[in-house]
Structure 1
């Protein structure tokens, strides 16, 4: 991930379906979470990793946990420590829960005190020194005024099928199929004023940086603003991180970043060529000014574009397929229309198919991705890929 590349040591951790513990939702309901599979290899749950690191740092006595239940008891007891009703979060009533009761724990609201129920403010007292509610005035700073160079307001948020930075959803072919590359939603009037056509590449620029994504022209998008989703990282796109556009400015009270008010401009991305590829394995590097990866059933889908054509298209295509030097490669070149197509095989298996043209290739992308799962025994079947 973009984060792990900064680490000196990586410790394999159990994933969601491998964890044993509790989860709490936004209505303060604590529920037991039980694993449905064992962690693979040497992966450990988070609590065990923290406890083992602490032990090796000389703090083993303070982290002598033997199970998730032991961690929960310590967590619950700590929430009640020196808490005479001055803090909302209180699980003191579960501080002595035994292993069997923990395993059978039914969903329950906090606070959970020895002398009360899970309702808050039933006694009409608030968590302040005098028990009275306090309103906090939060004057809103004026939104930045559009500038001639940056006349649009950037809005960020979620796409339909992704969550956070695709560390989980990015590995699902089905979830990646809805929006396989970064995009910018723009109102038709704003798009027309800038010469932006649907499904073309655009550059979104702010005073701090730039990204490149696909234009989604949408009547429902507010005129004067542009929406870019937050999910793409350097692992999935060459220039898709929307945080590169956003100023590191936070609300003084909540600490919430200013993710909805960055001033930007959107212009067509001047690409000399466009490409699409399906690959069995991730390439070591991608020589393109724009690229975006999406997971497929047996490999990857890759959108590409560049402002300058490579000197040698065949050498460039080989660089995208790690096994190209060992396998058979078919190539098709049309100098008149500047179209180039390649298919690389390892035995009877397709390991890479690459299509390049001046305009975005009009191809059955899902069909080509399915080809990574097929066997190509006959020469005619292989040639048909490049037809």
Structure 2
């Protein structure tokens, strides 16, 4: 992350630390996709986003070792393993360790886009990633907060400008958008479950102009209005192609990874996203068959 974390394009593909677990292990421990996991050993613990996938072996947990304290609250793998290093290279023994896994009981989940990097994030779980126009942040908090004050701290206490807010206290939903002139300073979305917000579109709003009320209310809503399109989560980092664009191309007749590449360029450079593109194609075929 000392290098990758500086690239907004690469950061959009995997914007937070995660733990891969097998679906049967997820069922056993009451874990759903996008939950926050607490993984602990005799040496320490980390908080990570759950990624439930059959590609992971039953009884095993995979965690990438590249996250640092610069970009996540508690995701350093070296906190889990014994303090043993190779006497010549200094390489730590971070490849395997017996660990315990449990669901982190979050009171609130959040997602934010910010024009400036926040100086502090008062949350139990946070993951920060560079994006076009600023930064994106995933959040999870164990206890209730003064959400208006929390948003102001994230946005940087801008003295002038306009803040729009939406509150549904009964359902635990709170949304804030701060503007300075026609520019979006920050937007924050909070809910009791993992936040369902069009993340790719929200990130794009940091580079957009917001001259009228309708455009500003769309930011609060967290999704494009009118004829605006949502590209979806980034699949191809090389060309900035989103999952929704690929799904739409499949619906329009692209039935192979090569066809998607010809139509959208996705998968035609480094090729690391080709397996994910095939997964979207296969999923659309299954939906059509059903």
Which TM-score applies when normalising by structure 2? 0.73
Match of 2:114 in 1: 279
Deviating 4+ runs (over 4 angstroms): 251-256
Determine helix, strand or coil for the equivalent of 1:262: coil
Match of 1:338 in 2: 172
Match of 2:130 in 1: 295
The yes-or-no answer on 1:354 pairing with 2:205 is: no
The yes-or-no answer on 1:185 pairing with 2:185 is: no
In the comparison of the two structures, how many residue pairs are matched? 221
The yes-or-no answer on 1:242 pairing with 2:77 is: yes
Distance 2:49 2:100 in 1: 15
Question: Aligned runs of 1:1-387 on 2, under 5 Å?
Answer: 166-250=1-85, 256-310=91-145, 312-387=146-221
The CA deviation at 1:325 is 2.9
The CA deviation at 1:256 is 4.5
Conserved? CA contact 1:318–1:325, under 8 Å = no
Determine helix, strand or coil for the equivalent of 1:386: helix
Give the direction of change, closer, same or farther, for the CA distance of 1:348–1:196 in structure 2 (3 Å limit): same
Distance 1:335 1:220 in 2: 39
Deviation track 1:232-284 (CA, whole Å, cap 9, x = no partner) reads: 11110011111111111245787643222211111111100000000000111
Distance 2:87 2:215 in 1: 63
Distance 1:270 1:214 in 2: 13
Greater helix share, structure number: 2
The CA deviation at 1:224 is 2.0
Determine helix, strand or coil for the equivalent of 2:205: helix
Conserved? CA contact 2:39–2:99, under 8 Å = yes
Say which structure, 1 or 2, has more relative contact order (CA 8 Å, 6+ apart): 2
Give unpaired runs (5+ residues) of structure 2: 222-290
Which TM-score applies when normalising by structure 1? 0.55
Conserved? CA contact 2:106–2:141, under 8 Å = yes
RMSD: 1.6
Distance 1:360 1:255 in 2: 39
Give the direction of change, closer, same or farther, for the CA distance of 1:254–1:295 in structure 2 (3 Å limit): closer
Give the direction of change, closer, same or farther, for the CA distance of 1:223–1:380 in structure 2 (3 Å limit): same
The CA deviation at 1:173 is 2.0
Give unpaired runs (5+ residues) of structure 1: 1-165
Conserved? CA contact 2:38–2:46, under 8 Å = yes
Determine helix, strand or coil for the equivalent of 1:263: coil
Deviation track 1:27-66 (CA, whole Å, cap 9, x = no partner) reads: xxxxxxxxxxxxxxxxxxxxxxxxxxxxxxxxxxxxxxxx
Distance 2:123 2:179 in 1: 23
